[in-house]
Structure 1
Amino acid sequence: MQKEINIRIGNAWKRFWSLKEVMKNPHVPLKDKTTVFNSCLLPCLTYGAQTWAFTNKQSRALRVCQNRMERSMLIIKLRNKIKLTNTRSKTKVENVTYTVKKLKWNWVGHMIRSKKKKWTKEVTVWRPRDGKRREGRPKIRWEDDTKKVAGMTWQRNAENKKTWRTLGEAYAKGQADNVTDVEE
């Protein structure tokens, strides 16, 4: 998974530098740079995020990438020691962690509510016969963070679109707010 995220980060930087006439130009309004970031760079950075079993290390890598891009948009050097809260309040770009969590939550609800027989749903609801995992700290599974918010009956909760949307907003907001910004 880390390899895939590194590829996403690399692709986002390639896109960023292909748009450097806009992103690095001090004469382009910040509002326009924010629009370009949210519509071009963020989707490139989060492509396929619905299927990631998202760990804190991976979340941190995406946040670091976003923070560096924001500082580059504002032409701020790291040695200037300007806080990320200040840069985020200026740029007003969407938080990458929030975006990833929101994408995943929406996709889970869509997949569970689908009436068609799809392999993604079959793999998600499948349970092994013995149902046991190895000893020690278990690796994070794709559905673990969904269960934290929606409970063990998350599949039943996903059937109700309105409830699922409300839970999703709380899930994505809470996850994004609990993460401290990284200064790298």
Structure 2
Amino acid sequence: MLKPIWRTTSLSMHTNFRIVKSNVLSVFLYGSECWKTTATIERKLEVFQNKCLRRIMKVFWPNMITNMELRERAGANSIAETIALRRWRWLGHVCRMPPDSLPRVALRWTPQGKRNRGRPKETWRRTVERELKNRGLTLQTAPATAADRPKWRSLAVASSTRRRRED
């Protein structure tokens, strides 16, 4: 349904990028801070973003450019980076809540019983624990770090720049 908007010549490319960022991605990523992220989910999200950017920039089959170059030209972050940043901000918010608040209790809660056989399922909590471990933190030390907002933000920014260099 967005094809007519991307194809119109009355809107500049910059305006189309702003439409994508403000309308499309905000709706597309609604609640993404609570998603578990697997490689399959991230790949599907990246495909959607790249498809939108290629249509806006009119980059079609004979004109081959890499996805990273496409994002650089558009001035867009990768979807995985955006989701990780949103998750990090939400985690900081939850860690700063009082210890008896429901989201903070849910963060520490472990259900009783045993899981089924097989490979462990990817969960939001495991995703967060992996990201915390990459930053040298644990779920127990995160609330003390989150209380210092500038330090928490700097960890988020450092992580996103590190991820860009790895791509």
TM-score normalised by L of structure 1: 0.73
Count of aligned residue pairs for this structure pair: 161
Does residue 151 of structure 1 match 2:137?
Answer: yes
Matches within 5 A, 1:122-161: 122-127=105-110, 137-142=119-124, 143-148=128-133, 149-152=135-138, 153-161=141-149
Deviates more, 1:133-142 or 1:168-177: 133-142
Deviation at 1:162, TM superposition (A): 1.6
How far residue 96 of structure 1 moved from its aligned partner, in angstroms, is 1.6
Work out the percentage of aligned pairs sharing the same amino acid: 24
Q: 1:95 to 1:151 in 2, by over 3 A?
A: same
Q: Deviations over 1:27-59 (max 9, x none)?
A: 421111111111111111211111012112111
RMSD of aligned Cα (Å): 2.6
Equivalent residue for 1:72?
Answer: 55
Q: Which whole-Å CA distance do the structure 2 matches of 1:44 and 1:175 have between them?
A: 24
In 2, Cα distance between equivalents of 1:111 and 1:48 = 15
Taking the aligned partners of 2:103 and 2:164, their CA distance within structure 1 comes to: 26
Change (3 A) 1:54 1:45: same
Deviation at 1:78, TM superposition (A): 3.2
Q: 1:94 to 1:23 in 2, by over 3 A?
A: farther
CA contact (8 A) 2:6 2:56 kept: yes
Residue of structure 2 equivalent to 1:47: 30
The change in CA–CA distance for 1:176 and 1:123 in structure 2 (over 3 A counts) is farther
1:32 paired residue among 15, 18, 26: 15
TM-score, reference length from structure 2: 0.80
From 34, 39, 47, the counterpart of 1:56: 39
Report 1:12-23 matches (<5 A). Answer: 17=1, 19-23=2-6
Deviates more, 1:25-34 or 1:37-46: 25-34
Structure 1, unmatched stretches of 5+, are 1-16
User: Which runs of 5 or more residues in structure 2 are unaligned?
Assistant: none
